[in-house]
Structure 1
Amino acid sequence: MTDAPDPWSDFVRELGMRIFRARSEQHLSQEQVAHAAGLATFTYRKLEKGESNPGTSANPRLRTIVAVSEVLGVPLPDLIPTPPKGLPPER
């Protein structure tokens, strides 16, 4: 185990912030977006936090991100951050 920063963690945190901003701009609740996207509110909240469990980076399904993008009316490329160089594969 290393103390090096996890680039995946930063990536999913930024994804969550972009989703949060898009939702806030439309004055929607987490529950409204989750319901419209076919997600549990708990799952959606974790997506905005960028964590699946405390201290564990989220690894959302593409289907989930696409559904949230459609509900928010935000093009998918606007939600997805630029991946960091040398992103290690998820284990």
Structure 2
Amino acid sequence: MTDAPDPWNDFVRELGVRLLRARAEKRLSQEQVAHAAGLATFTYRKLEKGESNPGTAANPRLRTLVALAEVLGVPLQDLVPAPPEGLAPGR
């Protein structure tokens, strides 16, 4: 185990910021977005925080991201940040 920071943590935090901004622009509550995307409100809240469990980076399914982009009215590529560089596939 290494003490080096995991670049995926920054990636999912940025995803959460983008979700929050898009939701605020639409003036929707977390509950409204979650319901419209077919998610539990708890799950959506965790995505905005960028985590799945405390200390564990979120890892949403593609289907979830597509549904959220649709609900929020933003292109998927605007919602999802560029992946961290230099990572081995599968990380």
Q: Same fold (TM over 0.5)?
A: yes
- RMSD over aligned Cα, in angstroms? 0.9
- Return 5+ residue gaps in structure 1 as ranges: none
Runs of 4+ in 1 over 2 A off after TM superposition: 87-90
The secondary structure found in structure 2 opposite 1:45 is: helix
- Return 5+ residue gaps in structure 2 as ranges: none
Q: Distance in 1 between matches of 2:12 and 2:74?
A: 17
Q: TM-score, normalised by structure 1?
A: 0.94
Shift of 1:84: 1.2
Structure 1 residues 61-76: aligned runs within 5 Å: 61-76=61-76
Where does residue 87 of structure 2 map in the other structure?
A: 87
Checking the alignment, whether the CA contact within 8 Å between 1:8 and 1:87 is kept in structure 2 is: no
Q: TM-score, normalised by structure 2?
A: 0.94
Q: Distance in 1 between matches of 2:73 and 2:42?
A: 21
Percent sequence identity over matched residues? 80
Q: Distance in 1 between matches of 2:33 and 2:9?
A: 23
Shift of 1:80: 0.8
Shift of 1:2: 1.3
Where does residue 40 of structure 2 map in the other structure?
A: 40
The secondary structure found in structure 2 opposite 1:48 is: helix
Question: Alpha-carbon deviations, 1:44-80, whole Å to 9, x = none?
Answer: 0111111001100011000000000000000000011
